[in-house]
Chains A and B, each alone.
Chain A
Amino acid sequence: DQQVKQNSPSLSVQEGRISILNCDYTNSMFDYFLWYKKYPAEGPTFLISISSIKDKNEDGRFTVFLNKSAKHLSLHIVPSQPGDSAVYFCAASGVYNFNKFYFGSGTKLNVKP
């Protein structure tokens, strides 16, 4: 049972434009959300996180938005750069089992020069 879903397996964006990656979850007990970036042949690397007490967290070109009522989060990358081309995973953990993380299946972002 996929508790975290990324319904778009791929996304193609022009350099300089905004990339929006989406993630939906089903478990209302999730209270901490993360985005990871993964290049080929490497492990995922942490990108940005958000706690359920917030609805937005920004770090440079990366902003994560959380809509708890819709059980939806999104990652915005502005402006997109070719080096952002990678697979992006969203992940979630819950207040009662904070060490267990549930990951989505990933969205492959291609930023075209």
Chain B
Amino acid sequence: GAGVSQSPSNKVTEKGKDVELRCDPISGHTALYWYRQSLGQGLEFLIYFQGNSAPDKSGLPSDRFSAERTGGSVSTLTIQRTQQEDSAVYLCASSKRGAGSDTQYFGPGTRLTVL
């Protein structure tokens, strides 16, 4: 399909381990966003990539969280030394240009459970 894909769909890990979550945006979309949704909460902005510009990392909750976007396409969100409070659904979205009026297309998310 031509939509945003994320992998894995589910990830169970032990506290203290590192995890990598992957996002494949829609081809040609220059903007890519990561959000997380904790239980009973709204979507929380984490990080935004736009083309070759420096990413907006203002939403990353701690220095254990980092993200890369290679070649302007695929993105990986890495969480080091996971904690139980990191358990959430991590959603990736892409849009054509990243302008405020651009529609964001979301992937199905990765459900992360930290035991």
Contact = CB atoms under 8 A, between A and B. Distances in A.
Interface stretch (B11-19, B69-77, B97-105): B97-105
Nearest to A105: B42
Nearest to B111: A41
B103 A46 contact: yes
A73 to B, nearest CB: 15
Contacts of A93: 100
Interface in A1-59: 2, 4, 6, 9, 31-32, 36, 41-46, 49, 51
Kindly state the interface size class of chain A when it binds its partner: 20 to 34
Interface residues of B, number: 28
Contact of B101 (A6, A32, A44, A105): A32
A44 B45 contact: no
A93 B45 CA distance: 11
B41 interface: yes
Contacts of A104: 42
Nearest to A42: B108
Contacts of B91: 43-44
Contacts of A31: 100
Contacts, number: 63
Interface in A84-105: 89, 91, 93, 98-105
Given A2-B42, A44-B43, A99 B106 contact: no
A98 B100 contact: yes
A6 B43 CA distance: 12
A49 B101 contact: yes
A46 B104 contact: yes
Interface of A: 2, 4, 6, 9, 31-32, 36, 41-46, 49, 51, 89, 91, 93, 98-106
**7 A-B pairs closest in CB distance:** A43-B106, A98-B100, A103-B43, A103-B42, A105-B42, A46-B103, A93-B100
